[in-house]
Amino acid sequence: MGAGIGAGIPAGRGLTRGARWFLGLSLGLAVLAPAPAPAAESVATALVVSVDVSQSVDDDRFRLQMEGIAGALEDPSVLAAITGNAGGILFALVTWADKATLAVGWRRIADRRDAAAAAALVRAVPRQPGDFTCLGQMLRTVGASVLPALPVPADRVVIDVSGDGIDNCTDVEAIHAERDALARGGATINGLPILVPGENDVVGAGAFRSPGYGLRALPIGPEGGETTLDRWYRDHVLTGPGAFLLAARGYGDFARALRQKFVLEISALEPGQGPAMAPGPLSVRARGK
């Protein structure tokens, strides 16, 4: 085959003066052109949204939760908080009942398009089977496999736990062990108890969930007596710097409460700060935090 066009011509020969000038200018501009910006090497906030999907959560309640999370990611106030962080945030979704499942793996959300893509994944999450409310086991899973999979370091790791009942799989000492291990690793655990009138107004340290009926308290045991769900979350779940609790008035209020909670968590604000929103029945910081 014949030589290609220009083969064997020394550099600069066989070109007109104008062509040589243009070639030199192009090479100069290529040298001066800025390199593509590298991806952010860290983020300010890594947010794990951990949602109870146990027996008390029927199909309607499950969809209210998934839509509430997806809608919160697309909410203008939440997006403003996200874009206020250099490099955006990292987001993951965990659903839990008898066991915990990483329903949406770690995703960086830095703009509206990222948020819409994450919201679509949340809306597509299938409901997992499970009867019990194994909150302590969920914390163990998050510490063992979810947080170690962070793709880049985060200045602040927040685990957002929501549910309508207390743990009925393990005793509180085991829950405290998992909670405290996460705190030693630098994580903050916030709570979003879902208060359902007539169903979980009062809970007990030894409560159990009977299929089809809400929480029923067993006789007072060594861990203590009856309490309220929000107090149980505050005493046994919340931990870490700035940890707080923000309750929802039933499943219909979940979306509102979560939007407010996201803004506070992503912006590292405290309850009472941030954009004005209708308050929930409880919005308090953990005692001693």
For residues 110-124, one letter each, b for 16 or more C-beta atoms within 10 angstroms of the residue's C-beta and e for the rest, the string is beeebbeebbebbee
pTM of the model: 0.77
Whether the CB-CB separation of 43 and 81 falls below 8 Å is answered with no
Distance (Å, rounded) from C-alpha 170 to C-alpha 167? 7
* Structural domain boundaries in the chain: 43-285
Q: How far is CA 186 from CA 53, 88, 156, 183, 195, in A?
A: 26, 20, 8, 5, 29
CA–CA distance, 126 with 128 (Å, rounded to integer): 6
Judged on CB neighbours under 10 Å (0-12, 13-18, 19+), 171 is: middle
Sequential pLDDT tens for the chain (289 residues): 444 434 443 444 455 555 455 445 444 444 444 444 445 589 999 999 999 999 999 999 999 999 999 999 999 999 999 999 889 999 999 999 999 999 999 999 999 999 999 999 999 999 988 888 999 999 999 999 999 999 999 999 999 999 999 888 887 888 999 999 999 999 999 999 999 998 888 776 555 543 433 444 444 344 556 788 999 999 999 999 999 999 999 999 999 999 999 999 999 876 655 444 444 444 445 444 4
Tracing tokens 């945030």 back to the chain, one arrives at 89
Side-chain half-sphere of 275: how many Cα atoms within 13 Å? 18
- The CATH code of domain 43-285 reads 3.40.50.410
Question: Are 58 and 244 spatial neighbours (Cβ–Cβ below 8 Å)?
Answer: no
